[in-house]
Structure formats: C-alpha cells, structure tokens
C-alpha cells in the first residue's frame, strides 16, 4: 500500500512539473491516458531512484561534499533525463527536452513530493 501511495505522489509531482516547466511534456491523447502515463513514469522514476541514485551518490560523494550538496541538483536532473529516455524506450508519451528543463523539473518534483509526503502518515 505504501508503494502505491508513493507512486501516486510521484505521479502528482510529475504532473505539476509538466504543468510548470515548458520542456517537460506528456503527449497522451486524453486525461485518462495522461494519468496512466504519469503513473507509469512514476514507477520508472521510483525504480531509478531506488537502484541507480544510491550508486551515483556513493561514487560522487566527493562532488557532493565539495559543492555542499548542490551536485545533487545536477544528479537529479540527469536522472530525470534518464527516466525520460527509459519512458521513450517503453513507448510512454513522456519527454524532457533538455538539461535545463530536467533541472527545473527535478526541483519542482522534489518540492512537490516533499510537501505531499508531509501529509502521509508514517507507519514505522
């Protein structure tokens, strides 16, 4: 149940990013298909963040320290571009145009996800 809730939160954050950043698009035909596309992209996003992001954080630890964590913004943008590429390979109509669109989109996704997760009860 927790995975489903996090996926929906990520899909909502992706939706906000598509609405606010010009270079991030979901080109599905109607609202229902757009919703399912965003859910599919949210699953891809979750898998990428679960498996690839920790490896990058360990390998790039020095860059995180030297830039006082600002390198995380670049990593998040590159991971969003990777998610866009994977979505294209899976024939999902989701596309990020370039680095700066991914950069601002990753910031928006992070903020919206954080805000929505504040309202989710923690069952630790």
Read off the pLDDT of residues 78-103 as tens digits, 9 standing for 90 and up.
999 999 999 999 999 999 999 999 99
pLDDT of res. 123: 65
In a domain, 27, yes or no: yes
Number of compact structural domains in the chain: 1
Is the pLDDT assigned to residue 53 strictly greater than 70?
Answer: yes
In a domain, 124, yes or no: no
What is the domain extent for residue 106?
2-117
pTM of the model: 0.89
In a domain, 53, yes or no: yes
In a domain, 122, yes or no: no
pLDDT of res. 40: 95
SS3 labels along the chain: CHHHHHHHHHHHHHHHHHHHCCCEEECCCCHHHHHHHHHHHHHHHHHHHHHHHHHHHHHCHHHHHHCCCCHHHHHHHHHHHHHHHHHHHCCCCEEECCHHHHHHHHHHHHHHHHHHHCCCCCCC
In the chain, pLDDT over 90 holds for what percent of residues? 72
Is the pLDDT assigned to residue 124 strictly greater than 60?
Answer: no
Per residue in 101-114, pLDDT (tens digit) is 999 999 999 999 99
Averaged pLDDT for residues 60-76: 90
In a domain, 123, yes or no: no
């Amino acid at each position: 149940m927790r995975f489903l809730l996090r996926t929906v939160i990520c899909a909502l954050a992706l939706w906000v990013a598509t609405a606010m950043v010009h270079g991030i698009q979901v080109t599905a035909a109607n609202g229902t298909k757009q919703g399912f596309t965003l859910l599919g992209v949210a699953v891809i996003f979750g898998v990428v963040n679960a498996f690839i992001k920790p490896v990058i954080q360990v390998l790039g630890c020095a860059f995180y320290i030297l830039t006082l964590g600002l390198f995380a913004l670049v990593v998040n943008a590159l991971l969003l571009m990777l998610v866009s590429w994977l979505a294209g390979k899976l024939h999902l109509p989701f596309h990020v145009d370039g680095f700066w669109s991914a950069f601002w989109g990753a910031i928006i996704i992070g903020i919206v996800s954080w805000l929505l997760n504040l309202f989710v009860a923690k069952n630790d």
